[in-house]
Chains A and B, each alone.
Chain A
């Protein structure tokens, strides 16, 4: 007959896997991220730039669009990054430029992923005819070359502002994310806990939101970071070739004007190196965060506690 004593808990009590940060009780996932070197470095860099963007006005009192010095002054104590051809302070431009670049970049990336989630999740979970139609649409958008198409559309729109650029980018480049998320949704749909939820009588919408989506978090997060990275770089690219609104201050437009003003020929490296380095650092930080998340999620998948044959 059934054992009346309770099933031993000796093996099962493992608690958290990573040491907690002193006295603060942080959730497991946050702990893992903070303990991962790559992710931490990436987050620090990203946070740095976010803070710079937020407090641009406090960091420098010089206005980015005002003529404050002689043209093409080399970096000095007064102008840390020197001045542009028009005598505007490069440091101030970089600091203020971070705002639009980062904000529009993040917003675009987020919109991209939202569309990708809706398209991918629906196609993957519902299946059938719906899947075929959505996949067809996704595949069409997938083969459209995003950057050239954006260039063409942006050119046709005649110097669109960042908002418009954001819309164009979003409309064209959601397809890759949708495809990735669809295939994971497909896998999850066939998992036994989804079958168990069905047998339990859970309605479809609950299954999608509470059973499937939570299991896609790490993929969604890493896709989102990838999307933000793509958006920022695409934005900068467009602005650099002059397709954005060249009168606003963003990292891309700084580069545009630098190129326009023959920075290389005149040796005014300070007009393009600082923004370039910032762009590279942002890209690096996002990549590091993604690598870090990869490292965290993969070993966890491999750790299987006992019980199987």
Chain B
């Protein structure tokens, strides 16, 4: 059985070993920072290869480790996101403690992979904690910056409270059903009537995930964390953690709590988790977009837009079913890649001008057309304009939501989401306006850093990300086909 475990958990094993090697390298010598990044990146690529070699279907320990095309696909996506984070980290942090930082990124990635690859509440909780703990430390990693400490502390306080709620909820569910395996819970719920106490457990479990995906009203940590944390940490929190959370949230509600879905249709609300998620979605879309209008810092703006996007993404889960889940998965993947790219641009601008306020971006198009072009692709994709991936994602999500419930019952939610996108276009365009229309302000005329190799590497990776976003917009079928095939 142990051999079996080692075989099925080989990607995780590869990442753990890489993390240990990176840690040791970092301790050995101060000057090995570059090597550490290289090893970490190579380890992640190895892990991707290991995922590809996994069998099609396998289950271990009653669903603690599940391997399906879906989990494999999202393990790869998480690994790729971690890969870009490692590249981002090359330029952003000073070489001090590089080994520890990269090790934390890798360990957080393991947490994500476990979250994605498990259908068992206990395991999911441990995955959440592993990810969470690594990310708390990553958020507070920059000790020369008070903001970073603030970010880490806020993230930690909100995160641990949310974890407590989730654990409490899970205990209720275990108490009511006598099992922690999602499939078994689903079966129990179909046979027995759903008790009110179970709803308490379900709602409490959802709270923890609402925190992870930064859905309002559990988003309060997001602005400060996105703004204060080191850029790669913020990028990873916003991308990898979010993708994995949506995958597992989808599995929990659709597989585990499926029978307790209820309905969020306008005139036919039925109690269940769907109305809860619908309320979260509506609130997130409105709050996120409206507050984002007032932001002058790009990272804060991205944080509030992240809240809004969490709302859009929840639409697919509210719709439920295979199509809704696929739409959610597609959207969150696209969003994660877009956001890593956007944070990459922010990191480079920050290095060049020393800040990430909107005014630091003014005149970027004349300073660096490539960065400006990439940023416009990312922003317009977030705004949902064709031919970028965000547009297709929104179309897919909204049409899935409208199709799921008879008689266009979710039209109210779709209308709110469209209204939110209308608002969001304004602030995304403001960013682009600063980049393309405004001339470079005189206050930021510092000498530009000479281009280094890390810079070059980052620009390549940003171009790749922009190309991915464009490609997924023009040919969305490639990813959608995989996701639909994977979601049974």
The answer to whether A and B interact is no
List B residues at the A interface (Cβ < 8 Å).
none
List A residues at the B interface (Cβ < 8 Å).
none
